[in-house]
């Protein structure tokens, strides 16, 4: 089936006869494979009598050599899969198998992509970026402070470089355009954070996705924002360069060196919000973040600090 997809990736019309000859199968077998492509990979295919079959949009597959051409200074080994359950899960398996960090895991599709708090991350084939960078942390807890917020800055800048000028941050792990989510971050850690550990920087970016009925929140993509399809290899390269720069600044100065920049790009800075943890809710006004990346809220005129992976921030209706 993927061989057929690669024949169609140019976005041009191909006759059933030509596709069958290239694959060594009958035209009816080509038809069945096309049905599977649409159903399993959610890729719309135009079928025109007398012309043949055409992908609704051309596809550019992820390729390590193309990423390297766009970012020759990046030396991270890259593992690219057609399909995995999630790139974070694959990265953790590779750590367990003894792969040396840093290394990068990419996939064309995730069958069980994960967001924060166990949410599903919708991951259609060859449309978005599913990205997991593995780092070895040897200098203890300080290198983990505010790390997800630092990654958010890198993602935001990569999106702006791709033409999404309205990209902004939402504490703790989202990138928004207006009220619509365009990217999310999920960090996972194995080992002893006080000694030596590995951290997986999981990033999902909506790139060329234009439909996703399964998503249960407002969302957008780079293509929807800019009106043009994006070369994902160029985006992955730009994201790598931004991460390289921000991670080095974080390594040298800690999160405190990036705190002001993060607050300046927080979409909800100074806004009235509700902080939700399970069935509990706290209403307040966003003051910013502290030197460790925790949220600072003014609650009834008193500053309070909140952190933790199970917290969710929502705008108040009166904000």
Q: Is 32 annotated as a binding residue?
A: no
Distance CA 126, CA 124 (A): 7
**Binding residue per annotation — 51?**
no
Question: Which residues in the chain belong to E strands, given as ranges?
Answer: 45-48, 52-55, 78-84, 103-110, 129-137, 167-170, 174-177, 180-191, 197-205, 272-277, 280-289, 295-299, 302-306, 312-315
* Selected catalytic residue, list 116, 170, 232, 259: 116
How far apart CA 69 and CA 54 sit, in angstroms, is: 29
What are the C-alpha distances in Å from 112 to residues 26, 47, 73, 87? 33, 30, 32, 9
12 assigned to active site: no
Catalytic: which of 12, 211, 314, 316?
A: 314
Q: Is 296 annotated as a binding residue?
A: no
Name the active-site residue from 170, 181, 232, 259. Answer: 181
Cα dihedral 227/231/236/242 (nearest 10):
-50
Closest CA to 108 of 170, 37, 160, 201: 37
Annotated active-site residue 211? The verdict is: no
227 is in an annotated binding site: no
Instruction: List Cα–Cα distances, 27 to 2, 22, 178, 294, in angstroms.
Output: 17, 11, 47, 59
According to the annotation, is 86 in a ligand binding site?
yes
Are the C-beta atoms of residues 7 and 14 closer than 8 Å to each other? Answer: yes
Say if residue 204 carries a ligand binding annotation: no
Let me know if 251 is a catalytic residue.
no
Catalytic residues: 116, 181, 314
Indicate the annotated binding residues for biotin: 86-88, 110, 114-116, 181
Indicate the annotated binding residues: 86-88, 110, 114-116, 181
């Amino acid at each position: 089936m993927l061989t057929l997809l690669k024949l169609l990736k140019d976005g041009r019309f191909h006759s059933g006869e030509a596709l069958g000859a290239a694959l060594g199968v009958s035209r009816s077998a080509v038809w069945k494979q096309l049905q599977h492509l649409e159903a399993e990979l959610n890729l719309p295919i135009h079928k025109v009598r007398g012309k043949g079959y055409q992908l609704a949009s051309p596809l550019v597959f992820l390729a390590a050599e193309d990423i390297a051409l766009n970012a020759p200074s990046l030396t991270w080994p890259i593992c690219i899969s057609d399909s995995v359950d999630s790139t974070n899960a694959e990265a953790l398996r590779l750590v367990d198998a003894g792969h040396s960090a840093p290394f990068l895991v990419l996939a064309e599709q995730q069958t069980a992509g994960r967001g924060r708090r166990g949410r599903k991350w919708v991951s259609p084939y060859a449309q978005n970026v599913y990205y997991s960078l593995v780092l070895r942390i040897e200098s203890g807890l300080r290198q983990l402070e505010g790390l997800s917020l630092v990654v958010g800055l890198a993602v935001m800048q990569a999106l702006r470089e791709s033409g999404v000028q309205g990209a902004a941050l939402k504490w703790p792990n989202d990138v928004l355009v207006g009220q619509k989510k365009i990217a999310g971050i999920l960090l996972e850690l194995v080992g002893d954070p006080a000694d030596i550990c590995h951290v997986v920087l999981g990033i999902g970016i909506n790139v060329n996705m234009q439909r996703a009925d399964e998503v249960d929140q407002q969302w957008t993509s780079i293509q929807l924002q800019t009106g043009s399809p994006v070369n994902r290899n160029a985006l992955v390269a730009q994201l790598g360069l931004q991460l390289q720069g921000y991670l080095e600044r974080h390594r040298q100065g800690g999160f405190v060196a990036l705190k002001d920049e993060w607050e300046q790009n927080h979409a909800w800075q100074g806004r009235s919000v509700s902080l939700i943890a399970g069935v509990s809710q706290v209403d307040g006004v966003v003051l910013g973040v502290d030197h460790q990346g925790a949220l600072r809220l003014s609650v009834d005129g008193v500053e309070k600090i909140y952190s933790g992976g199970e917290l969710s921030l929502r705008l108040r209706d009166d904000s």
